[in-house]
Structure formats: C-alpha cells, structure tokens
Amino acid sequence: MSQVRVRFAPSPTGYLHIGGLRTALYNYLLARQTGGTFILRIEDTDRTRFVADAEDDILATLKWAGLDVDEGPEAGGECGPYRQSERSALYLRHASELVDSGAAYYAFDTPEELDAMRERLKSPQDPSPRYDCHTRGNMRNSLTLSPDDVATLLATGTPHVVRLLVEPGKTISFVDAVRDQVSFASEVVDDQILVKSDGMPTYHLANVVDDHYMSITHVIRGEEWLSSTPKHILLYEALGWTAPTMAHLPLILSPTGGKLSKRAAERQGIPVLVKQYQDAGYEPEALVNYLALLGWNPGDDREIFDLAGLVEVFSLERVGSAGVQFDLEKLAWFNGQHLRRLPVANLAERTATALASTGIEVDAAYVTEMVGLMQERVAFASELATTTGYFFSDPMSYDENGVKKRWKDDSAELVVAYAATLEAGIEDTPEAFEQALRQLTETREVGAGRLIHPARLAVSGVTMGPGLFEMMALLGSETCARRLRRAAQVLG
C-alpha cells in the first residue's frame, strides 16, 4: 500500500476555524498531488463537548473551500464508518488486547483520588504531577491491586479507565516531516488514559487505531499534537503496527503573536471561524491561497495560486516550523487579487442579488456594466453593492473632505456649463463625455482637473469610483446633467 492516504480529523466541538481549514488544506494538497486519498474522519469521542451542527459546518466549509472529500461520513468509503462514536467496539477490542499484552492496565482511581494525588505531590518544582512511572505505584490499578481484587472490581462494574503503561528509561524518537528528528524521554510521558470510564476511547487510542485501519500514510496535524506523539508511537509499537509519517504544522498565531484563541481574536477583530470569513464576503479562493502560504511557500516568488496550482507545487518539505501570525491585511490583498480574476458574470450575479435584497431592483445588463467598471477597484465583492449607490440614485450628500479639497469658487459655474453641453445632446460614450469636458475647459482656459474633480463629486457624491467618463456614459447624459445642476445648487 504505497498510495498516499491522508485524513483531516476534526472533532465536532465547534465550527471549523481557520487553523483547521489550513490543516485540511495541506492534507488535501498532498493527497491530490500524489493521486492519493483525502479522508474526513469525525472524532466525536468527547460527548461532553459535542456540538450538534458542527459536523454539518465542517462538511459545508470544506465544500465551500473546494476541498473534495474522497472518503468520509458523507462520501462513504471502504474504511467506514467515519465517525469514531460508531467505531467503539474496535477501540475496546484493542484496548483489551493492550491490557492482555501488558502494554496497558486498568485504573480504578476516582476523579477525587486523582485530585488528591496531584494536590499531595504538587510542589514548585512540579506544579502538575502526572500519573506515570513515579506515581502509579501508589494508585489503585491493576498493577498495584491483586488479580483477585481487580477481577472483583471489574465484575462488579466499578468505574475504571484503561491506561497506557509507559516504561521509564527509554527514548522515544521519530522523524517529523517538517521538523526532522524529535525525541522524548519516556519519563516525561504520562500513563495516558486510553479508554475513559464512560467506555469511550480517548483521542490517542482512537486516532492510532483508526489511522491504522484506514491505512493512513501521513498524519498532518497541528503542532499542538507534537507532545502527545510519543504516546502514539508507543501505541503503534505495542499494537505491532507501523506508524505513519508524522508532520506537525506550525500553529497560526494572532496578529500580535499570541495564541489565536477565539476570545483573543475577537478582541483584535480577527474572525477565527471560517464561517465568519464566508459571511464577511471573502472569496474562498483567497482564503485558501492565503492559508496555504501561511507556513508554507513554493520556494520562488509566486504568491497567487488557485487550488490546482497549489496541488502542483505543494510539498511537506517546504512547510516551516515556526508559528505564524495571521495578517488580515494580506488576506484582504489576496481577496482583491482573486476578485480581479473572477468572471464579471459571477460578480454581477452576486451583486444583483445583494442589491435586490436591499430593495434595489435593477437591470442585469446595467449591473454587469457597473461591475465591469468597479471590479478592479474593490477588494471585496460586497463593496460592489455597498459603495455604489450613486449608480442607482442621485447622491444625497457630498463627501465633505472632497468638497473642501476640490470644490472651488468656479466649480458651480463650470459644472452648470458642462450640464448645458450634455443637455444639448451627447452620445452616451466615455469618449464623448471626455471630449465635451476637455473642449469646455480648453475654451475657459482652465486645467481639465478643474472640472473633472467637481464633476465626479457632483455625479457620484464621492471622490472614489471608476473612471469619470466611463461612469457618466453608463449613467447617461440626462442623469448626469441633472446631478451636475443639483450639485451646483447645493454646493454653490
């Protein structure tokens, strides 16, 4: 089985966040590049944190981003089921196998007893004592209890967990595809709980078992898992399986370098859920492109990629190992870049829908023309509908700073004269509007800018927008003349 098989394995404890999407993306890229398989596995072993619609959000978000899943709860596949809650029997079978072989043991300590142990052993040198080779001898488990006692406890249904037996004196090392060799002393690895007292496996057991049965070749996940990888390695060894290649991605940090927690991010105005980016009108291509470059680079100066382009050049070797700060401004730039590459029809349709929802009914062809003029001037598609009111109704006010800067003593008179020219009859083409304006300013022996700026202000109410003459041609001479006269009246 040399086929690459990778998985994205989120737990449905909340909506998909950008870190998760990036992890999914890197997995996807490796799969597509190698002709391998991209698997989605739902790790829902924690019933206390389960969020009902999280799985739907994950599925929908992956689709939105264009990451097609080959095998998963929705896509199906030969290694299913793809929800861990539906695979309990498998985990339990291997848990007892581990106990039988001596690689794991039963522990009967109650949460209170655990707390008491930690409280008792706590010291400045060791603020958080672990359940490990140093402490297990004083606890209630199948290592310290007699076989008869253990059998009785088990038979009477006493709550218990299964723990991994970690022997001291060993060095556990593995080669990480992005960090090279990483080693841990087994003394600092605790006797990880494998099966909880509710009978559910923990992440560690379920993950290893599933990765094995799903023939996963590369585990690509966030760096937060690096420290638990020795436990996983131990499990693979105890189960007699070969561990897949590990690749731990650098974490995405907030713009100030701290962790990108939901709360911290909100304080800094950084959305962390992909859904929020969707709602804010980011292009999926832009988010994907930006996330791909966050911790990875192609090795040359190229930055703009679509999914297919990323698939071609991606490589695990070029993934960095230092945490990366999230930068909304650069994302915005990517958004503008991708926006410009979109077909006008696509944007026009979306803009028409957005306009309609605000009660502005307009001709599709007109919107298409407008979008054509605006497409390369905005960074977000939403601006096409929110900053273009003057295409649909006369401006109600005039930008204050613009007036201060551009509206001179002779502006009103010039603007009225221009209006008169338009009223005399003019072809609705940019060239005609431009010619008329230049002729007028030449006659008056003033610079064209003397009229261009006031005219823009009069026609749109703002100083920003498409080329003046293109805009006027689309608006039509009648509308323009009316607006010019009105501005002259209002601004004097």
Partner RNA sequence: GCCGCGUUCGUCUAGGGGUCUAGGACGCCGCCCUUUCACGGCGGUAACACGGGUUCAAAUCCCGUACGCGGUACCA
Site for RNA in 232-271 (CB under 7 A): 250-251, 253, 255, 257-259
Enter the tokens of residue 302.
């190229």
Contact 36, 27 (CB under 8 A): no
Q: Which stretch binds RNA (CB under 7 A): 55-63, 138-146, 183-191, 410-418?
A: 183-191
Written as one letter, the residue type at 246 is M
**Helix residue ranges per DSSP H, 364-448:** 364-374, 383-386, 400-406, 411-423, 430-444
A 10 A CB-CB count for 318 gives 13
Contact 236, 243 (CB under 8 A): yes
By CB under 7 A, tell whether 119 contacts RNA: no
Contact 277, 296 (CB under 8 A): no
- Per CB under 7 A, the list member of 120, 449, 476, 478 interacting with RNA is 449
Nearest approach in angstroms of CB 224 to RNA is: 4
Nearest approach in angstroms of CB 117 to RNA is: 10
By CB under 7 A, tell whether 55 contacts RNA: no
Helix, strand, coil percentages for the chain (3-state, nearest 5): 50, 10, 35
By CB under 7 A, tell whether 318 contacts RNA: yes
Q: How many helices (H) and strands (E) does the chain have?
A: 21, 11
Enter the tokens of residue 141.
């488990």
Nearest approach in angstroms of CB 25 to RNA is: 14
By CB under 7 A, tell whether 169 contacts RNA: no
Nearest approach in angstroms of CB 361 to RNA is: 26
Written as one letter, the residue type at 114 is L
- Per CB under 7 A, the list member of 79, 121, 170, 303 interacting with RNA is 303
By CB under 7 A, tell whether 405 contacts RNA: no
**Helix residue ranges per DSSP H, 214-261:** 229-239
- Per CB under 7 A, the list member of 78, 89, 111, 155 interacting with RNA is 111
By CB under 7 A, tell whether 297 contacts RNA: yes
Q: Which stretch binds RNA (CB under 7 A): 66-74, 123-131, 273-281, 388-396?
A: 123-131
SS3 label, residue 172: strand
Which of 1/448 has CB closer to RNA? 448
CA 180 to chain centre: 27
- Per CB under 7 A, the list member of 1, 35, 119, 127 interacting with RNA is 127
- Closest to 204 in 3D by CA, of 177, 158, 179, 238: 238
Q: Quote the CA–CA distance of 37 and 43 in Å, as a whole number.
A: 18
Contact 350, 381 (CB under 8 A): yes
Angle between helices 54-65 and 284-293 (to 10 degrees): 90
Which of 67/472 has CB closer to RNA? 472
Provide the sign of the torsion angle of the four alpha carbons 400, 401, 404, 410, taken in this order.
negative
- Per CB under 7 A, the list member of 56, 74, 86, 327 interacting with RNA is 327
Which of 49/356 has CB closer to RNA? 49
Enter the tokens of residue 401.
């700073």
Q: Which stretch binds RNA (CB under 7 A): 122-130, 233-241, 273-281, 350-358?
A: 122-130
- Closest to 219 in 3D by CA, of 8, 21, 35: 8
Q: Quote the CA–CA distance of 286 and 264 in Å, as a whole number.
A: 24
Nearest approach in angstroms of CB 21 to RNA is: 15
By CB under 7 A, tell whether 35 contacts RNA: no
Q: Quote the CA–CA distance of 434 and 443 in Å, as a whole number.
A: 14
By CB under 7 A, tell whether 463 contacts RNA: yes
Q: Which stretch binds RNA (CB under 7 A): 25-33, 306-314, 329-337, 410-418?
A: 329-337
Enter the tokens of residue 153.
């406890």
Single out the catalytic residue among 259, 262, 330, 408: 262
By CB under 7 A, tell whether 128 contacts RNA: yes
Which of 273/294 has CB closer to RNA? 294
Q: Which stretch binds RNA (CB under 7 A): 182-190, 210-218, 266-274, 277-285?
A: 182-190
String of contacts with RNA for each residue 345-384, x by CB under 7 A: -------------------------------xx-------
Known catalytic residue at 262 = yes
**Helix residue ranges per DSSP H, 35-178:** 54-65, 88-101, 111-121, 147-155
Half-sphere exposure of 189 (CA within 13 A, CB side): 27
- Applying CB under 7 A, what is the total number of residues that bind RNA? 91
Angle between helices 430-444 and 449-460 (to 10 degrees): 130
By CB under 7 A, tell whether 224 contacts RNA: yes
By CB under 7 A, tell whether 26 contacts RNA: no
Nearest approach in angstroms of CB 340 to RNA is: 7
Nearest approach in angstroms of CB 356 to RNA is: 25
By CB under 7 A, tell whether 184 contacts RNA: yes
By CB under 7 A, tell whether 341 contacts RNA: no
- Per CB under 7 A, the list member of 61, 141, 142, 202 interacting with RNA is 202
By CB under 7 A, tell whether 486 contacts RNA: no
By CB under 7 A, tell whether 392 contacts RNA: no
Cα dist. 328→287, 338, 422 in Å?
10, 15, 45
Q: Which residues are catalytic?
A: 262
